[in-house]
Amino acid sequence: MKTTQPNVIVIQTFHLPKAVVWKAITNHNHMVEWFFHNIPDFKAEVGFKTAFNVKAPSRDFMHLWEIKEVLPEEKIVYNWKYKGFEGDSFVIFKLKEADGNSQLTVTTKVVKDFDDTIPEFKRESCEQGWNYFIKDSLVSYLEENYNS
């Protein structure tokens, strides 16, 4: 991913109240069910930091997150980078009411280029990852736990 490329944006509508979706994207117990199972802790508080490793076939990716902004039930912004690798980004989760439903928009904004010779740092990998997490994993999690 490069700063010269457009942001990666994934939008998903849920037939649930904003409070339910917000809890799923900010509560540690929920996040480990649909996002990364090994997040050691998470708090939707500015300044909160966490780190956890994700193993890929070719290497490890130590995720480094710091919460930069929180507007409860509306917006949370992470600074997202990887230990030992060039590159820096912000991931913005925005939640709004949409015709009685909740609409989640996740935006990845690169502020320092990632080395896209590493397959996991290519734009296509980022798009595939967010589409999986939001449109598959989070949708399934919420349907299983909140829809009858």
- pLDDT tens-digit readout, 77-132: 999 999 999 999 999 999 999 787 999 999 999 999 999 899 999 999 999 999 99
Architecture of domain 8-146: 2-Layer Sandwich (3.30)
What order of strands is seen across the sheet that includes strand 60-71? 8-14, 101-112, 88-98, 75-82, 60-71, 49-55
Is the distance from CB of 18 to CB of 39 less than 8 angstroms? Answer: no
Amino acid at 78: Y
Whole-model pTM: value is 0.94
| pLDDT digit string, tens, across residues 35-59 | 999 999 999 999 999 999 999 888 9
| Closest of 20, 32, 43 to residue 142, by C-alpha | 20
Domain regions of the chain by residue span:
8-146
DSSP-derived secondary structure letter, 66: E
